[in-house]
Amino acid sequence: MPREFQFQVSPEVAANESLLAQHVAKLFQVSPKEIQKVVVVKRSIDARQKAIKINVKANVFLVGEPFVEQKIELPDYPNVANKQEVIVVGAGPAGLFAALQLIELGLKPIVLERGKDVRGRRRDLKAINRDGIVNEDSNYCFGEGGAGTYSDGKLYTRSKKRGDVDRILELLVGFGATPEIMVEAHPHIGTNKLPQIIQDIRERIIACGGQVLFETRVTDFIIKNNEMQGVVIQNGNVISANKVILATGHSARDIFELLHKKGVQIEAKPFALGVRAEHPQELIDQIQYSCDFRGDYLPPAPYSIVKQVNGRGMYSFCMCPGGVIAPCATAPGEVVTNGWSPSKRDQATANSGIVVELKLEDFKPYAKFGPLAGMEFQKAIEQKAWHLAGETQKVPAQRMVDFTQNKVSKDIPQTSYVPGTTSVELGQVFPGFLTQIMREGFVQFGKSMRGYMTNDAVLHAPESRTSSPVRIPRDPISLEHVQIKGLYPCGEGAGYAGGIISAAIDGEKCALKIAACLA
């Protein structure tokens, strides 16, 4: 039996297998030659002290003890070509993991995705970055892999169900992600690695007899007597099935509108909205690691911050160390920001959404839109940003201190946002109450993280797609829509997930319910 040990080491020792073995030998009071293998099972950074330490949990095998390298295997996916069909709308994490789970359970998924495959998407990302052209079906939110494909690929979640999280991480490793994601306390994959993983998942679905159809937008649902019968796709063709997983994400406004028009119950849902702040990564490293230089052994530092301002939470969201701010609009005439990082997080700047929680009462000016009020509130801010920045994909921007002092910035330094910035007083983008909270909040952030509040930081507006502005209500036990039998609202768009991992978990949950129902 290996011995499980928990200890702290310097970043240099943690990064070097032989130094680590020497350290463990000392703990064991044996010679390093007697250590056969140190298998690190968890690793996290403890940056509370000036001398930063790495917390390590490891299994230690001495020479002569049985040791077999653990290899993560994918489940034995059967061929489902002739099995009962289930429609999955959307090939984001929720849809793809639902499809894999359906196959595992002996059902045939037909995945319908409005966007292109991961490679085809790249051209459209180039067009929005370089020419400001937004393809409404293929962009940073839409296309194979969903919103998470060209992202930082952070894989942590607030989900307390460790087993569920580990299963998704194992599947990702099985499909080619580095096994390090099972070890790191805050794992991430990176934009450069995610597309291949997504492609491998799709190829497996198809190899098992499932179907994945790209450039296939669902435009209508066929519902009879409150029972799902199938869907209509953009060319007018009908695809029939009486089980439909609806995993279209938080940006599929046409789906929310369609459901509302058809009298399918949906609800407005609070979400959060704010700006995306960008700092030099070096500055964030200095603040977080209390040092002048990060050195060779520590990763670019992340940060996480939350404050209560005027009775509302204002917090960092989807922070990307060493990353880039991306234009994430899904329709012409709007500006939306979010962020991504490559696997090494080696870009010069750190960006993070800094958002304020919204309440349903904030959507009152849009009350006439009923359950779509939050969505219209969101849309109005995105459209205003587009207008104020010059009606291209340029983003309204302001230096951080200038924003808190209500001063238009004389100039905006170059930021990672490729389409470019326009100097705008950001108070013009948001309703007054939000501007006030953010001004006060940044001052508070500056007090907690000394150096954070600086005019070297640039705010980009808005960060508005933090979660869905709509919930598609479902029965908590069957996971079917409360009114439509056979419709399974799933993932972030339906309001049951926030992030890649929780969306994937929700996809699996819906697939399991369908299999149980059919059995």
Residue 151 interacts with ligand FAD (CB under 6 A)? yes
Three-state SS sequence of 253-299:
HHHHHHHHHCCCCCEECCCEEEEEEEEEHHHHHHHHHCCCCCCCCCC
Between 338 and 435, name the residue whose CB sits nearer to ligand FAD: 338
| Helices vs. strands in the chain: H and E counts, helices first | 13, 22
In the complex, the smallest distance separating the C-beta of residue 108 from ligand FAD, rounded to whole angstroms, is 18
Q: What single-letter amino acid sits at 5?
A: F
Q: Judged by CB under 6 A, which of 326, 358, 472, 514 binds ligand FAD?
A: 326
Fill in the per-residue mask, 280 to 319: x = in contact with ligand FAD (CB under 6 A), - = not in contact: --------------------------------------x-
Q: Judged by CB under 6 A, which of 21, 25, 89, 201 binds ligand FAD?
A: 89
How many Å separate Cα 63 from the centre of its chain?
43
Fill in the per-residue mask, 35 to 74: x = in contact with ligand FAD (CB under 6 A), - = not in contact: ----------------------------------------
Q: Cβ–Cβ contacts within 10 Å for residue 273, how many?
A: 27
Fill in the per-residue mask, 477 to 496: x = in contact with ligand FAD (CB under 6 A), - = not in contact: --------------xxx---
Between 371 and 498, name the residue whose CB sits nearer to ligand FAD: 498
How many Å separate Cα 264 from the centre of its chain?
27
Q: Judged by CB under 6 A, which of 109, 148, 427, 473 binds ligand FAD?
A: 148
Q: Are strands 238-240 and 267-268 parallel, antiparallel or unpaired?
A: unpaired
Between 329 and 373, name the residue whose CB sits nearer to ligand FAD: 329
In the complex, the smallest distance separating the C-beta of residue 273 from ligand FAD, rounded to whole angstroms, is 14
Between 45 and 94, name the residue whose CB sits nearer to ligand FAD: 94
Q: Judged by CB under 6 A, which of 198, 208, 354, 503 binds ligand FAD?
A: 503
DSSP-derived secondary structure for 432-448 = HHHHHHHHHHHHHHHHH
Q: Judged by CB under 6 A, which of 11, 146, 327, 427 binds ligand FAD?
A: 146
Residue 249 interacts with ligand FAD (CB under 6 A)? yes
How many residues belong to the site for ligand FAD (CB under 6 A)?
42
Q: Judged by CB under 6 A, which of 25, 100, 141, 165 binds ligand FAD?
A: 141
DSSP 341: -
Between 159 and 436, name the residue whose CB sits nearer to ligand FAD: 159
In the complex, the smallest distance separating the C-beta of residue 12 from ligand FAD, rounded to whole angstroms, is 28
Rounded Cα gap, residues 98 and 88, in angstroms: 8
Using CA atoms, how far residue 343 sits from 12, 109, 150, 177, in Å, is 20, 31, 11, 11
Fill in the per-residue mask, 332 to 351: x = in contact with ligand FAD (CB under 6 A), - = not in contact: ------x-x-----------
Q: For ligand FAD, which stretch binds (CB under 6 A), given 89-97, 160-168, 383-391, 430-438?
A: 89-97
Between 12 and 203, name the residue whose CB sits nearer to ligand FAD: 203
Which helix (H) or strand (E) segment holds residue 29: the answer is none
Between 60 and 111, name the residue whose CB sits nearer to ligand FAD: 111
Between 107 and 168, name the residue whose CB sits nearer to ligand FAD: 168
Name the one residue in this structure whose structure tokens are 């079917």. Answer: 480
Q: For ligand FAD, which stretch binds (CB under 6 A), given 202-210, 242-250, 375-383, 477-485?
A: 242-250
Q: Judged by CB under 6 A, which of 83, 108, 116, 154 binds ligand FAD?
A: 154
Q: Are strands 349-357 and 312-320 parallel, antiparallel or unpaired?
A: antiparallel
Rounded Cα gap, residues 107 and 464, in angstroms: 37
Name the one residue in this structure whose structure tokens are 């199938």. Answer: 230
In the complex, the smallest distance separating the C-beta of residue 322 from ligand FAD, rounded to whole angstroms, is 13
Q: For ligand FAD, which stretch binds (CB under 6 A), given 79-87, 142-150, 347-355, 477-485?
A: 142-150
In the complex, the smallest distance separating the C-beta of residue 284 from ligand FAD, rounded to whole angstroms, is 17
Q: Judged by CB under 6 A, which of 11, 109, 143, 486 binds ligand FAD?
A: 143
DSSP-derived secondary structure for 188-214 = B--TTTHHHHHHHHHHHHHHTT-EEES
Long-range CB pairs of 130-136, under 8 A, 24+ apart, other chains included = 130/418, 130/419, 132/327, 132/392, 132/393, 132/394, 132/419, 134/329, 134/330, 134/331, 134/332, 134/393, 136/330, 136/331, 136/332
In the complex, the smallest distance separating the C-beta of residue 123 from ligand FAD, rounded to whole angstroms, is 16
For 485, residues 6+ apart whose C-beta sits below 8 A from its C-beta are 226, 227, 228
Q: Which of residues 193-232 bind ligand FAD (CB under 6 A)?
A: 217-218
Q: Judged by CB under 6 A, which of 45, 212, 247, 273 binds ligand FAD?
A: 247
Residue 90 interacts with ligand FAD (CB under 6 A)? yes
**Residue 97 φ/ψ, nearest 5 degrees:** -75, -25
Name the one residue in this structure whose structure tokens are 């959507």. Answer: 363
Residue 259 backbone zone (phi > 0: left; psi -120 to 50: alpha; other: beta): alpha
* 155: nearest Cα among 186, 176, 180: 186
User: Which residues here bind ligand FAD, judged by CB under 6 A?
Assistant: 89-95, 112-115, 140-143, 146-148, 151-154, 217-218, 247-249, 252, 255, 318, 326, 328, 338, 340, 491-493, 497-500, 503
